[in-house]
Copies of this chain bind each other. A is one copy, B any other.
Amino acid sequence: MSLEPVWIAGHWREESSPEGQLQSANPRTGETLEPRFPISGDATLKAALAAGSEAADELRGVEPERIAAFLERCADNLERAVDVLVDTAHRETGLAKEPRLRNVELPRTVGQLRQAALAARERSFCEARIDTKNDIRSLRGPLGGAVAVFGPNNFPFAFNAVMGGDFAAAIAAGNPVIAKAHPGHLSTTRLLAEAAAEAITQTGLPRATVQLIYALPPELGLDLVAHPELGASAFTGSRRAGLALKAAADRVGKPIYLEMSAVNPLFILPGALRERGSAIAKELAGSCTLGTGQFCTKPGLSVLPEGPLADAFSAELKTLLEAAPVGVLFGSRSAAHITEGLVTWTSHGAQLLAGGKPTGEPSFGFQNTLAIVTGAQFLKYPDALQTECFGPVHLLVFASGTEEMLAITNALAGSLTGTIYSDTQNEDEALQRRISSRLRQRVGRLLNDKMPTGVAVSPAMNHGGPFPATGHPGFTSVGMPASITRFTALHCYDQVRADRLPPELRDHNPTGTMWRCVDGHWSQGNVSSKAS
């Protein structure tokens, strides 16, 4: 049986020397899905890199307006293909068609593409800085090579290597994308690529602005992120794969942005537990089981003060989790990973309160799972007990008192989010202050009284955090313009003749709306001829 074609240099073409093949599976039935996709070899990778490099050169000559139009066409094309996209993604991921895929994730993806289009058109993301006195001007320009995007399993649209957030950000900054599909949703990715291909035709962008490879042997993945002609890489996925890619890219000084793992700790302070423990338990059960717990920001552990209220909380959470529908995991190996994680937990003193088992063939189901451990035990094995269980699994840490809660905070590794629930009468305030000042340094996003699983596409969002959640605490993969900034290089022009400057740095504001910092003042205006 023939394999699906890869999309290289503007052509859908047969993988000439496949290193193997792969197929997605239906998590709800366990059924292996047609069609079959190739694992690409070195020749295809080299061809993609060469074409990507050429496209990077060509894109530098393309008007921002056309890049914006491309992103908008991408959004339009997705909206026209909603039914087939939702059906296909549902089949490949087991995620609910409604509301998740149709009403939440696809609109979010379309929205991200349109925001990226606005950013590409409006150009404030360039962070233009003009020093008229010294005649030095700088902006954030494209990287000069393609961006390799590795998509994760858990958002077949919104974080897909084609059409997802990294894709939109890389292209808005003027870089081509070499997409590496996730094996969990190959046909979905293929469909997204077809929509992107149509948008390229519609807008006349360089044909290698987007390319698609379904899979690579691990060593070729390392070659890709370390290739001299590549601009940068973006990876969302497991810590193990992420660290291997990071090491390869770091060795040769290639930027790589990673979103690898997170435990997303939650603190429930005594007053909040007393005041509204039951309501918090309901929120937590919902947040832990959303998307079968396969969110990057799923709260993985809660710290709360031991005692009767904590016991009641735990009992209620157990009841809620046991009563909640059992979801399916994305892949055939997902359950085994969770089981491994649970073994790590329990062999370091945690006890299972609920669930803990795969629901068995044919589906990739897993019971909603709750475990518990004492604060003392957590402090003895903080690393083991922060092993991520990517699924509907939660660990309660019962602290013996305030000082132990603080010690636990100090033992936390870098996470995407950290959340504090405190009472409304400010009885928790003193403790809240001490915990949040420690937690602040360990998470990208600090929340109050709210579960972290919603990640708004906001300019103020940080979907990032200290290592090992990501590779660098200064970058976010969600929220423009910051997510775009990742895919830029700082370009300074020192006494460069006016007619040679990029339009964004000339005296005249090229869009009329672009924010530029002129002699220390942010403005949407032109540089006054007096000043220049």
Contact = CB atoms under 8 A, between A and B. Distances in A.
Interface in A474-495: 474-476, 482, 485-486, 488-495
Interface stretch (A164-172, A247-255, A306-314): A247-255
A471 interface: yes
A440 interface: yes
A279 interface: no
B250 A250 contact: yes
B250 A473 contact: no
| Interface size class, chain A | 35 or more
25 contacts: A57-B437, A131-B458, A131-B459, A134-B460, A136-B456, A136-B460, A138-B462, A141-B440, A144-B440, A253-B468, A253-B472, A417-B494, A441-B489, A444-B489, A445-B494, A447-B494, A448-B496, A449-B495, A450-B494, A450-B495, A459-B520, A462-B492, A474-B489, A474-B490, A482-B490
Nearest to A459: B129
A448 B492 contact: no
Given A462-B138, A492-B460, A448 B497 contact: yes
A184 interface: no
Given A255-B473, A432-B500, A492 B129 contact: no
A152 to B, nearest CB: 19
A342 interface: no
A268 to B, nearest CB: 16
Contact of A444 (B441, B444, B492): B492
A90 interface: no
Contacts of A255: 472-474
A94 interface: no
A444 B456 CA distance: 34
Given A253-B468, A446-B494, A490-B482, A144 B474 contact: no
A185 interface: no
Nearest to A517: B459
B495 A447 contact: yes
A130 interface: yes
Given A467-B252, A488-B474, A515-B522, A136 B495 contact: no
B464 A474 contact: no
A473 to B, nearest CB: 4
Residue picked from A250, A437, A447, A473, most chain B C-beta under 10 Å: A473
A206 interface: no
Residue picked from A437, A446, A452, most chain B C-beta under 10 Å: A446
Interface in A212-236: none
A276 interface: no
A494 B419 CA distance: 9
Given A144-B441, A460-B134, A490 B475 contact: yes
A449 B497 CA distance: 9
Residue picked from A441, A492, A497, A517, most chain B C-beta under 10 Å: A492
Interface in A131-167: 131, 134, 136-138, 140-141, 143-144
Interface in A277-308: none
A490 B253 contact: no
Nearest to A473: B489
A408 B73 CA distance: 39
A489 B416 CA distance: 12
Interface in A57-90: 57, 60
